[in-house]
C-alpha cells in the first residue's frame, strides 16, 4: 500500500529542504492541519487507540472475514520496506499477507500517476551499498542504477523469495483498530469492502508520499504556476519557462540539472548551505569511502577525514557557488550531484538564498535580489502519515519513540519498517528491520522490558539530536552504525541460539547423528535427518533418534534432490546443514583403489558436496551455516586407511573453497574429531588394523559439545578441534608437517615392533619394509 514513498535509494529521499528549512519560522503546519513539533513524543505504546467492538464500527457494505491462520501478520505497503518485511516473515515460517493498493510491487519506483517517480530518477547510493545482503544486483549494472533497474531489482527479489504471492493487490487499508485479539482491519479490495482480524500489524507504507508545502505561505502572492516535486514527470512540461526550484535535496538538484537544458532559466533557492557531494571520489563511488571508514572510526572523526578528502580530491569549479554549509558533512542528509555545482559555476543554474516574499510574477530573496519566475517547483519534503491509524495517539509518526526504530516502547503488536531517515541506502536497513520483526514474531528474539527499551531508545534520540539537531531526530540513523547494532541485536544468545532453527543432519541414524539430533531438539531446534538406513518408526517423531528421518542415498543425485526437497517441505527452509554421514574402512595407499576406496570417496566427499549443493539456495536465503564433520586424520594422516584420510582432507579442502564462494552469506565450519567408538571402525578392526593404539578415543558428548559451540558462535568458526589435544595436533599438522610425519612414523614403527599387524594381510608390505 503506497501511502508513502521512498526515493533515491535513501530513506530521507528528497527532503529538498525540510519544513523548517523552507519556511520563515520553525512552527510549520500542513494546509488546514497543525503538525506536531519535532520533539513531541506520543505515548510509549505508539498506538493506544481504545478497543472497539464490532457494534461500534459501521457495518454497511462491509463483509466480515476471518484470518486463514493463527498468529497472522499483515504488512501494509508493497515498496522496498513491505517486500523486505514479508520476505523475512515468510522465511521465519510465519503466516503473513501484504496489502498493496496498486496492482504490482515496486513502491515509488513504479512510473505511474500518484507515485513520486520520474523517468530520469536514479539512486544516490551506490550499487554495493544499496543491494539486499542475499540478493546482489547484476555486476554489469552502473554504480548508480536508474529507476527502471531498481523496479526490476525489487520485483526480481520478490519473485525469487516468493513474496509477491503473499500480497493482496488493488487493496486499500481503510482503518486499523485495536481489538482484544490484535487488530481489526477494514479493507477495500477488488471484491469490495471486508474486515479481517490479525495478531500483528507491520506499518511499511513509506513516508514520502504526502507533499509538504509552505504553510503558512510565504508573504505575498505568486501569480505564476507551481507544483511539488512529487508531481514532476519530466523537463518537457516546463520547457521555455523561468523555473525556480526550492530546495537542495536530491530531487531538487536532479530536477534543476535536468531543467537546465530545457527551461529558459533555472533558479535554485536554498535557505541554508548543503554539502553537494560528487558521485565518485578517489576513483570509487563516494559513499563507499565513508562506508569503509565507518567500520573503524566514530562519526566525528569520519567527518573530519571526509571533509579533508573532499577539500583535497573533490571537484573544483571557478565561478558562482551554492551557499556554504554550516554543519559538517555527516550532520546532514547527503546530496549527490556531479552536474549542479558545475552548472552553477557556469551560470546555467542561478543560485539564490531563501525566499523573502512573493510579488506577482516576481520572487524576492533574502539577500535583496529578485527575479521574474513563471513556475515554482517546491522540493520541500514530505509529511509522514499513517492514515489508517487513529490520529489521536499517533498525530505525527515521525515523532514516535521506537525501540531500534521498529517497535513502540512496550508494544509488540505493531511495528514500523522503513520509518527512518538514513545516511545511506534504505534497503539494508529495512532488511534488518524486517528480520527483527520476524525474530520477535517467531519467538527467537525477545524485546527488552519497557524500561530498558525506553532507556535505549531515548539514548539514541539524544545522540541523534546532538548530531542532527531538531530536524526529525526520532527518525535519524547512521546507516553503518545502525546495521552494526542490529546485527548484534539479532545475534541469538547461546542459551537461545538453537531455538527455532531448522536443521538438516546427514547420517542422522548413526552415532554422531543421533547424539546431535537429540541435543539440537533439546535446545528447541527443529531437525530432519537424512540417512540411507531409516530406523523403524523414525519417519515421524518418536522412535529412533527422535526426529523425522528421510531415506536418502547421498551418493545418488536423484535421491539427494528428493530428500532435500522433502526436508525443506517439513521444515520450511534450512538454517543449518550438518554433513555428518561418513564411511570408514581399510584402504592402503600403496594398493590400487578398490571398491572400498571408491565408496569412501563417493560418500565422504562427493556425497557431502552433493547434499550441500542441493541445500545451498536455502542456506543462502536464510544466511545459514554448513558444518562438515571431518576427522583428525585429515590433518594427521595414518597409513592403511588412506581412502578415509584422503576423503576427509578433500572434504576440508572443499569446505575451504566453498567458504570463499559463499562465505558472505553462509558460514562454513569444519570440525575435526578424533576417534569415537562407533560402528564406522568395525571393518578396520576386523582387518586387523585397529586405531585403538594410534588415536586416543574421545566421548561422543564432547564432539557434540564442540559442534554446538560452533553453530551457536557469533561468527561461524573456520576450523574446530574437539579437544585440547586435538588443537595441538591441528597446529602441528598444519604448521609443522614434518614433525607430524615423524610422530606418526614412530607410532607405526612401535606397533609393528609389537606385532600388532602380524595378522593383517593389508599391512604385509609395510611390515616387510620395516624389518631390519
Among all residues, which ones are annotated catalytic? 644
Cis peptide before 232 (omega within 30 of 0): no
Compute the distance between CA of residue 661 and CA of residue 751 in angstroms, rounded to an integer: 43
Compute the distance between CA of residue 201 and CA of residue 412 in angstroms, rounded to an integer: 9
- Give the cell for residue 348: 546555467
| β partners of residue 187 | 173, 194
Q: Which residues lie below 8 Å from residue 655, measured CB to CB, with a gap of 6+?
A: 626, 628, 630, 668, 669, 670
Instruction: For strands 242-246 and 265-269, give the pairing.
Output: parallel
How far, in whole angstroms, is CA 295 from its chain's centroid? 17
3-state secondary structure of 201: strand
Q: Which helix (H) or strand (E) holds 622?
A: helix 608-622
Q: Which residues lie below 8 Å from residue 633, measured CB to CB, with a gap of 6+?
A: 641, 644, 645, 648, 649
- Pair 464, 487: CB distance under 8 Å: no
Compute the distance between CA of residue 19 and CA of residue 278 in angstroms, rounded to an integer: 26
Range 187-202 burial, b when 16+ CB lie within 10 A, else e: bbeeeeebbbbbbbbb
Residue 417, CA distances (Å) to 236, 432, 491 in order: 36, 9, 19
Residue 410, CA distances (Å) to 75, 97, 463, 476, 590 in order: 20, 24, 21, 21, 70
- Burial bucket for residue 296 (CB in 10 Å: 0-12, 13-18, 19+): exposed
- Pair 178, 414: CB distance under 8 Å: no
Instruction: For strands 667-672 and 625-629, give the pairing.
Output: parallel
Q: Which residues lie below 8 Å from residue 244, measured CB to CB, with a gap of 6+?
A: 267, 268, 269, 352, 363, 371, 373, 375, 376, 377
Sign of CA dihedral 384, 386, 387, 393: negative
| Closest CA relative to residue 612, chosen from 564, 559, 566, 650 | 564
Compute the distance between CA of residue 648 and CA of residue 680 in angstroms, rounded to an integer: 14
Residue 456, CA distances (Å) to 175, 283, 617, 679, 736 in order: 31, 39, 37, 54, 50
Grid look-up 520483526 returns: 437
Compute the distance between CA of residue 99 and CA of residue 653 in angstroms, rounded to an integer: 47
DSSP 601: I
Instruction: For strands 502-506 and 549-551, give the pairing.
Output: unpaired
Compute the distance between CA of residue 307 and CA of residue 723 in angstroms, rounded to an integer: 52
For residue 613, how many other CB atoms are within 10 A of its CB? 14
Q: Which residues lie below 8 Å from residue 264, measured CB to CB, with a gap of 6+?
A: 240, 241, 242
600: left (phi over 0), alpha (psi -120 to 50) or beta: alpha
Compute the distance between CA of residue 647 and CA of residue 374 in angstroms, rounded to an integer: 78
Sign of CA dihedral 649, 651, 653, 655: negative
Amino acid at each position: 500500500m503506497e501511502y508513502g514513498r521512498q526515493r533515491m535509494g535513501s530513506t530521507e529521499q528528497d527532503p529538498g529542504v525540510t519544513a523548517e528549512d523552507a519556511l520563515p519560522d520553525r512552527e510549520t503546519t500542513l494546509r488546514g492541519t497543525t503538525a506536531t513539533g519535532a520533539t513531541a513524543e506520543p505515548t510509549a505504546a505508539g498506538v493506544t487507540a481504545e478497543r472497539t467492538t464490532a457494534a461500534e464500527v459501521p457495518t454497511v457494505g462491509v463483509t466480515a472475514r476471518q484470518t486463514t491462520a493463527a498468529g497472522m501478520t499483515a504488512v501494509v505497503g508493497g515498496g522496498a520496506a513491505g517486500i523486505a518485511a514479508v520476505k523475512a516473515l515468510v522465511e521465519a515460517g510465519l503466516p503473513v499477507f501484504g496489502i498493496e493498493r496498486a496492482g504490482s510491487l515496486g513502491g515509488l519506483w513504479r512510473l505511474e500517476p500518484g507515485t513520486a517517480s520520474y523517468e530520469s530518477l536514479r539512486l544516490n547510493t551506490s550499487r554495493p551499498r544499496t543491494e539486499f545482503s542475499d540478493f546482489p544486483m547484476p555486476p554489469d549494472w552502473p554504480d548508480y542504477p536508474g529507476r527502471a533497474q531498481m523496479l526490476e531489482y525489487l520485483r526480481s527479489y520478490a519473485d525469487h523469495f516468493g513474496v509477491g504471492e503473499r500480497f493482496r493487490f488493488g487493496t486499500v487499508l481503510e482503518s486499523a483498530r485495536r481489538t482484544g485479539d490484535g487488530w481489526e482491519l477494514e479493507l477495500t479490495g477488488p471484491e469490495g469492502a471486508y474486515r479481517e482480524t490479525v495478531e500483528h500489524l507491520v506499518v511499511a507504507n513509506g513516508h514520502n508520499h504526502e507533499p509538504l508545502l509552505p504553510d503558512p505561505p510565504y508573504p505575498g502572492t505568486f501569480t505564476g504556476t507551481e507544483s511539488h516535486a512529487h508531481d514532476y514527470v519530466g523537463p518537457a512540461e516546463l520547457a521555455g519557462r523561468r523555473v525556480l526550484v526550492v530546495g537542495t535535496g536530491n530531487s531538487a538538484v536532479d530536477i534543476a540539472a535536468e531543467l537546465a537544458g530545457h527551461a529558459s532559466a533555472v533558479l535554485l533557492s536554498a535557505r541554508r548551505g548543503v554539502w553537494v557531494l560528487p558521485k565518485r571520489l578517489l576513483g570509487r563511488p563516494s559513499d563507499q569511502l565513508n562506508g569503509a571508514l565507518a567500520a573503524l572510526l566514530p562519526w566525528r572523526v569520519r567527518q573530519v577525514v571526509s571533509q579533508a578528502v573532499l577539500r583535497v580530491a573533490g571537484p573544483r569549479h571557478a565561478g558562482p557557488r551554492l551557499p556554504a554549509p554550516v554543519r559538517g558533512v555527516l550532520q546532514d542528509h547527503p546530496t549527490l550531484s556531479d552536474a549542479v555545482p558545475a552548472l552553477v559555476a557556469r551560470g546555467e543554474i542561478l543560485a539564490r538564498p531563501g525566499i523573502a516574499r512573493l510579488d506577482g510574477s516576481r520572487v524576492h530573496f533574502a539577500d535583496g535580489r529578485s527575479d521574474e519566475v513563471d513556475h515554482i517547483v517546491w522540493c520541500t519534503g514530505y509529511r509522514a502519515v499513517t492514515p489508517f491509524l487513529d490520529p489521536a495517539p499517533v498525530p505525527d509518526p515521525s515523532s514516535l519513540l521506537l525501540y531500534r526504530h521498529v517497535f513502540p516502547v512496550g508494544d509488540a503488536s505493531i511495528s514500523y519498517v522503513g520509518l527512518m531517515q538514513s545516511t545511506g541506502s534504505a534497503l539494508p536497513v529495512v532488511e534488518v528491520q524486517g528480520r527483527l520483526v520476524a525474530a520477535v514474531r517467531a519467538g527467537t528474539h525477545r524485546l527488552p522490558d519497557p524500561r530498558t527499551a525506553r532507556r535505549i531508545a531515548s539514548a539514541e534520540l539524544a545522540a541523534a539530536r546532538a548530531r542532527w539537531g531538531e530536524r526529525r531526530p526520532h527518525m535519524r540513523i547512521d546507516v553503518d552504525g545502525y546495521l552494526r547494532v542490529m546485527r548484534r541485536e539479532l545475534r541469538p544468545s547461546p542459551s537461545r541460539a538453537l531455538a527455532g532453527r531448522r536443521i538438516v543432519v546427514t547420517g542422522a541414524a548413526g552415532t554422531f547423528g543421533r547424539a546431535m539430533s537429540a541435543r539440537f531438539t533439546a535446545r528447541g531446534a527443529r531437525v530432519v535427518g537424512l540417512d540411507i538406513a531409516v530406523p523403524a518408526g523414525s519417519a515421524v517423531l518418536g522412535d529412533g533418534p527422535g526426529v523425522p528421518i528421510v531415506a536418502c542415498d547421498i551418493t545418488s543425485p536423484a535421491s539427494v534432490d528428493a530428500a532435500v526437497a522433502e526436508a525443506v517441505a517439513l521444515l520450511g527452509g534450512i538454517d543449518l546443514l550438518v554433513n555428518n554421514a561418513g564411511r570408514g574402512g581399510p584402504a592402503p595407499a600403496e594398493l590400487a583403489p578398490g571398491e572400498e576406496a571408491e565408496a569412501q570417496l563417493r560418500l565422504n566427499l562427493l556425497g557431502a558436496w552433493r547434499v550441500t549443493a542441493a541445500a545451498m539456495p536455502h542456506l543462502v536465503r536464510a544466511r545459514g551455516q554448513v558444518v562438515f564433520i571431518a576427522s583428525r586424520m585429515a590433518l594427521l594422516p595414518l597409513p592403511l586407511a588412506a581412502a578415509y584420510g584422503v576423503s576427509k582432507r578433500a572434504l576440508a579442502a572443499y569446505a575451504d573453497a566453498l567458504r570463499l564462494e559463499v562465505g558472505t552469506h553462509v558460514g562454513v565450519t569444519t570440525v575435526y574429531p578424533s576417534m569415537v567408538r562407533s560402528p564406522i571402525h568395525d571393518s578396520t578392526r576386523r582387518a586387523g588394523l585397529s586405531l585403538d593404539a594410534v588415536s586416543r578415543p574421545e566421548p561422543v558428548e564432547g564432539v557434540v559439545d564442540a559442534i554446538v559451540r560452533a553453530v551457536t558462535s557469533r561468527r561461524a568458526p573456520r576450523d574446530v578441534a574437539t579437544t585440547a589435544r586435538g588443537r595441538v595436533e591441528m597446529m602441528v599438522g598444519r604448521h609443522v608437517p614434518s614433525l607430524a610425519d615423524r610422530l606418526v612414523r614412530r607410532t607405526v614403527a612401535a606397533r609393528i615392533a609389537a606385532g600388532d599387524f602380524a595378522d593383517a594381510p593389508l599391512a604385509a608390505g609395510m611390515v616387510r619394509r620395516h624389518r631390519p
